[in-house]
Each structure stands twice: as structure tokens, then as C-alpha cells.
Chains A and B, each alone.
Chain A
Amino acid sequence: MLIEQLINGLTLGSIYAIVALGFTLVFGVLGIINMAHGEIFMFGAFIGVMITSTLNAPLWVAFLGAIIITAIMGYLLERFALRPLRHKQGVSHLAPLISTIGVSILLENLSHHLFGAGNHPFRTSFAEISFQIGSITVYLVQIVIFVISIVLMLVLTFWLGKTRAGKALRATAENLETASLLGVDTKKTILMTVIIASAMGGIAGILVGMAFNSVTPQMGLSMGLKGLAIIILGGMGSVRGAMFGGLILGLAETFIVVYGDSGYRDAIAFLAIIIILLIRPQGLFGQKIST
């Protein structure tokens, strides 16, 4: 029982971590909270449902389709909601945040009209595969989700730390003007960051659809809010913080459902951020920030 809940918690936490990685990547480079990330994630999940149930296509096609579509959405987001604000004089730092809130509300209601308000089950035989270890049932999906999240984190850490593109990205994050003076194509770097973050959201969407067998237009908002809570918990812009913050939140939520009141599950994330802001405002893995 305990171990089964532990596995459930790790699965949920891994999904949270992937969502939070998308937030943290955009925040790390652009210093922007991308409020539309949760909705892009939700679109990824819907694309997955459409491809597997309506077109009866295999799962890898669903993954591919979701990644492509969410990447395009990331491009559009950067092109139309973020880029126009970047070099404008006298624009407050809140403008991109407000702009992405606009994108989020647009996408949420668009999906209401496109897919309907109801709950869509995610039908795939892959989600049913399970095996017994002693008295514990483990679903293959849970292992896949956990592995994908670990792999994504390792690839991202390697990519940011060791590759040329990753260095360009970190330089852009450090200082946009200096990086561009030193020959980094900052426009391309920023675009690429938003696209990669959105595609990761799309992957997370399909994984959630498989794990919980349910996709609704509202899931973007709740997942987006939790992703935000995680990056505050783990430290803004920290890849490791997003990973561990996600796992901590996933485990905490699973155990409160088992041992406490399930209704308050969605409130934990925010109680955690209020406490963390009081004790350690830079987050668990964040660098010290000045006010």
C-alpha cells in the first residue's frame, strides 16, 4: 500500500517536474513567467486524445503530433505575444506576464469550442499494461513517465551545460545585450527556448492523459498553477529545483489524499509557496536574489 502510493506519488511528481521544467526554462532565459504554458500542455493532451482515439493511430504518432503542434504554438506565442514587447521602451516587466495571461485565457476557451467542455478519456492499450511485483501493481506507463522525466532533465542539464547552443542560451539569460554583442543570435536562442519549453509541455500533456485517463480544458489551469508553485518552491530558473520541487509536490499530494482530506489536495502547492517565501524566498535550489 505504502509502496504503491509512493509509486503513484513519484509518477505524479515526474509529470509536475516536466511541466515545471518548461516554466523554468523560459523564466531562466527570458525572466518571464509563461502563464500560457499550462494551456499549451492541455492542447498537447488533446492532440494526443484526438490522434489515438479519432484517427486510431499508434501512440508514437500521437507523441510526434503533440510535439509538432505544441512547438508551433510555442513559436506563435513567442512571435505574437512576447517578441513585440521585448525592445519596447517604457514597458513594465509585468507586460509579458499579462500578455501570456491573455494567451492562456484565449487557448482555454478555444479548446472549449474545439473539443467541448466535457471529459475526454485517453484510450490506448498501452496504458493498461501492468505487472505484479509481489503484492504491488505497477503500470508500465508509470515507469515510462518516470524515465522520460529523468531523461528530459539529464538531457536538458547536459544541453545547457555542455553544448554550444546551451552556452548561447545561458549567455542570453545572463545578459541579452552582451550576448548579442558577442555574436549570439539571441532572437533565435529565445525562439528556440520557448519552442522547446512548449514541446515539453506537449509531452507532459500526453503523459498525463495516459496516466489519469482524462483530459479536460480546465486541466491546463490547475497544472499551470502547480508548475508555478513548483518553480517558486525549487527556485526560479533552476533545472534541479524544478525536478525536485515536482517530486516533492507529487509525493505530498498523493499522501494527503491517502492520509488526509483529498479536497484540499490542490491547496498544498500554495501553502508550500507561502511558507517557502517566508523562510527561504529564493527557493530550495535557487541563488540568492536581491529585492
Chain B
Amino acid sequence: MLAELINPYYLQVGCFILINIILGISVYITLSTGQLSLANAGFMGIGAYTSALLTIHFELPIIIGIIIGALVAALCGVLIGIPTLRLQGVYLAIVTLGFGEVIRVIFVNWESVTNGSVGISGIPHIGREILKTLQGFGFQPISIGLQNNQFIFLSIFILLLLITIFVIWFFRRQHQSRVGRAFAAIKLDEKAAESMGINITYYKVLAFAQGALVAGFAGAMYAHILAYISPADFAYHRAVEILIFVVFGGSEVIWGPIFGAFFLTLMPEVLRFISEYRYMIYGLIIIIMMAVRPQGLIDVPLLKALSKKGRKRGQKHGTGNHKSM
């Protein structure tokens, strides 16, 4: 019964949705201080390449590779962030766009390490490693009625789901903390925030580095799920694709990028015939959203309206009074 329901293709799409949600959140964090980062595709690439190379050449465990990959991306974020974040918002957008391009050029040209534009294949696969470890303890997927293949994808999906829930939980907590309030103050008015004693450079660099860390992490996961990466995976198109999750879904609340990533990853899979025109549709969506609803589909008033409705219905059934958002 369970075995028939679990289709590796659906799980694969599910994994991409989760990775894209994490990527969308990485842009959302930086944007919550009013800074637009277009380097998240580059940070994703740094995480992916670092982890892939470490696990292939030094035979480190995948988890250590992923952690180091995310940390290296965060370090690059700090190095880029410090000079640019002292300036106005547009500078960061341009410099990060350029940084992404530099990263791509390095991946293509540093052939002795990155294998050039061909890319790296044979990256240790995270699902197979999990299976191997469990088999070491005498566990067989067949004992719960699954094929090896199904179990591999199911384990990745569950792992990613847990990680995504943790990331969402963490940033929702952060949003209500001192740091989150500082971010919101900087987004509203930098000068006023500064005069209130908020160290704006520190918090901007922090937000930017957090974004880089999360993007690098998502990139490392991507590498170990696909087992193949190439410089084209982390180019300008990817940067725009990550941006549109936030633009479409909403940049004010964390549910925006989550919804955006979910909807826009699923759309080309369900509607196969539009996938050829995908980027043209993305372009149109960006233009229309900016003109009509620049804060994205999901914003604070919409959430309030939704939760009010939910509460009303809840009271009718006598189960109400749950706090939402």
C-alpha cells in the first residue's frame, strides 16, 4: 500500500520544492533589512562545489562537507558584505550580481579543480549514504515494504522536510527577537534606526551572511541530491529564479517565499507545455507583480484576514483561540 504511493518522481519534485523554499528564505532574510542580494545563486554554487569537492577528494562524511560548504558561503558573504553594505541599496544589488558572475567565471575556468564547464559528477548521494548506514545496522527497506530506490528518495525527502521546518522555525523565532526587530527597523528607515542606537552595518552584514549561509547550505544539499553540478546551475538565471520566489510569493512575511517557491516549482511540472516558456512567464510575472502588488501575493493584511476568518470558524466550532502567525 505504502509502496505504491511512493513514487520517486513525486519525491524528487518534492525535494526540489523544499530546496527552493530554503533558497527563497535565504533571499527573504537579506531582503528583510531592505537589501537585495542577487548573489544567492553564487553562494549556492560555493556551498555546492565546496561540499562536493571535500567529499570526493578528502572522503569527508557528507554532513561535514555540507556544514563546511555553508560556512564557506557565509564567510564569502561577510567579505562581500562589509565593503558594499556601507553604501546605498542599489550598490549591493549590482555588486552581488557581479559577484555571482565572478563565481561562475571561476567555476568555468579553474579547470584543475572544478572540471570546468563540464561540471562535477559522481558526488556522494545523500540518500544512498543513509541507506548504507542503515544497512550497516541490519535494516532492510524491504522490511517496511519499500524498494531501495523508493527508500532513498523517501529518506532524502523526510530529511529535507525536517531541515526546512527547522529553518522556518528558526527565522520565525528570529523575526520576533531583538535581531528581527532591528532588521525591521533598518528596512523601514535606516537613518532613524541608526539614531535609535542600532548598529546598522552589523545587522545588515549579519542578515546578508545569514542569507549566504542558508543559500550555501541549500546548494550543498542540491549537490548531494543530484550528484551532479555544473557552473550553469548557478548562473544569472538561477539568481532570478530565486528572486522571483520572493517577488511572487511575498517579501514581507516568511510564508511569502515559501508559497512562491512551492507554487513556482510545481507549476512547470504540472503544466508541462509551459515549461519551455518558463523564463518568459517569470519575466512577465515580475513586471506585473511590481506594478500591481509589489509586496508579493502574501502580505500582512492578507494573513490577518485569513487568520480572522479561521478564528471565526474556529469559534463556531468551539475550538478557537489558537494564535497564528
**A94 in the interface (beta carbon within 8 A):** yes
- Asked if A95 and B101 sit within 8 Å, CB to CB, the answer is no
Contact residues in B for A95 (Cβ distance below 8 Å): 290, 294
Please determine whether B90 and A85 come into contact, CB atoms closer than 8 angstroms.
Answer: no
Q: Mark A71-87, 1 if CB is under 8 A from B, else 0.
A: 00000000011001100
Chain B interface size, under 10 / 10 to 19 / 20 to 34 / 35 or more: 35 or more
A99 within 8 Å of B (CB atoms): yes
Contact B294 A232 (CB under 8 A): no
Partner of B280, one of A101, A110, A289: A110
CB of B282 within 8 A of CB of A105, answer: yes
Q: Classify chain A's interface size.
A: 35 or more
**Shortest CB distance B122–A (Å):** 24
Chain A min CB distance to B285 (Å): 7
Q: Which of A43-51, A180-188, A274-282 contacts B (4 or more CB under 8 A)?
A: A274-282
- CA gap between A20 and B283 in the complex, in Å: 23
A232 partner, pick from B91, B243, B291, beta carbons under 8 A: B91
- Residues of chain B within 8 A (CB-CB) of A232 are 91, 94-95
Name the A residues within 8 Å of B291 (CB-CB).
80-81, 84-85, 99
State in angstroms the CA–CA spacing of A113 and B277 once bound together: 9
Interface hit among B80-88, B144-152, B213-221, B317-325: B80-88
Q: Counting CB contacts under 8 A, is A264 at the interface?
A: yes
Contact partner, B243, options A92, A101, A107, A225, Cβ 8 Å: A101
B95 and A274: CB pair below 8 A? yes
Q: Are B105 and A264 in contact (CB under 8 A)?
A: yes
Q: Is the CB of B36 within 8 A of A97?
A: yes
Of residues 90 through 113 on chain B, the ones whose CB sits less than 8 Å from some CB of chain A are: 90-91, 93-95, 97-99, 101-102, 105-106, 108-109
> Smallest CB–CB gap between A117 and chain B, Å?
12
Q: Which residues of B contact A267 (CB under 8 A)?
A: 101-102, 105-106
Q: Mark A33-52, 1 if CB is under 8 A from B, else 0.
A: 10000000000000000000
Chain B residues with Cβ below 8 Å from A64 are none
* B222 CB, min distance to chain A CBs, angstroms: 21
Nearest neighbor of A110 in chain B, beta-carbon distance: B280
By beta carbon, the residue of chain B nearest A232 is: B94
Q: Is B236 an interface residue (CB 8 A)?
A: yes
Contacts of B102 in A (CB 8 A): 267, 270-271
Report the minimum CB–CB distance from A249 to chain B (whole Å).
Answer: 12
Q: Which of A101, A229, A271 contacts B286 (CB 8 A)?
A: A101
Contacts of B108 on A, CB cut-off 8 Å? 263
The verdict on B34 contacting chain A, using a C-beta distance below 8 Å, is yes
A190, chain B: closest CB distance, angstroms: 16
A109 to B240, CA, bound (A): 13
Q: Is there a chain A Cβ closer than 8 Å to B279's Cβ?
A: yes
A97 to B90, CA, bound (A): 8
Task: Fill in one digit per residue for A128-142: 1 if any B CB lies within 8 Å of its CB, else 0.
Answer: 000000000000000
**Residue numbers in A under 8 Å from B83 (CB-CB):** 274, 277-278
Q: In the complex, which residues of chain B have a beta carbon less than 8 angstroms from the beta carbon of A291? A: 86-88
* A253-287 Cβ-contact flags toward B at 8 Å (1 or 0): 00000000101101101110110011001000000
CB distance A94 to B95 under 8 Å? no
**Shortest distance between the CB of B100 and any CB in chain A (Å):** 9
Cα A232 to Cα B92 with chains together (Å): 11
Structural contact, A93 and B89, CB atoms closer than 8 A: yes
**Which of chain B's residues have a CB closer than 8 A to the CB of A273?**
94-95, 98
The residue that A88 contacts in the complex, of B87, B88, B97, B294, with Cβ under 8 A, is B294
Query: Does B63 make an interface contact (CB < 8 A)?
Result: no
Please name all residues of chain B whose beta carbon is closer than 8 Å to the beta carbon of A97 when the two chains form the complex.
36, 90, 93
Q: Roughly how many angstroms separate A88 CA and B237 CA in the complex, as a whole number?
A: 29
Q: Is A106 an interface residue (CB 8 A)?
A: yes
Return the chain A residue nearest B90 by Cβ. A33
Alpha-carbon separation in the docked complex, A104 to B294 (Å): 18
The interface residues of chain A lying within 8 Å CB-to-CB of B237 are 105
Interchain residue pairs A-B with the least CB separation, the first 10: A102-B286, A106-B283, A263-B109, A270-B98, A84-B291, A99-B290, A105-B283, A109-B279, A102-B287, A267-B105
Can you give 14 A-B contacts (C-beta < 8 A)? A91-B294, A94-B90, A94-B93, A99-B286, A102-B283, A102-B290, A105-B283, A225-B98, A232-B95, A263-B105, A267-B102, A269-B98, A270-B102, A291-B86
Q: Residues on B close to A: CB < 8 A?
A: 34, 36, 80, 83-84, 86-91, 93-95, 97-99, 101-102, 105-106, 108-109, 236-237, 240, 243, 247, 277, 279-280, 282-287, 290-292, 294
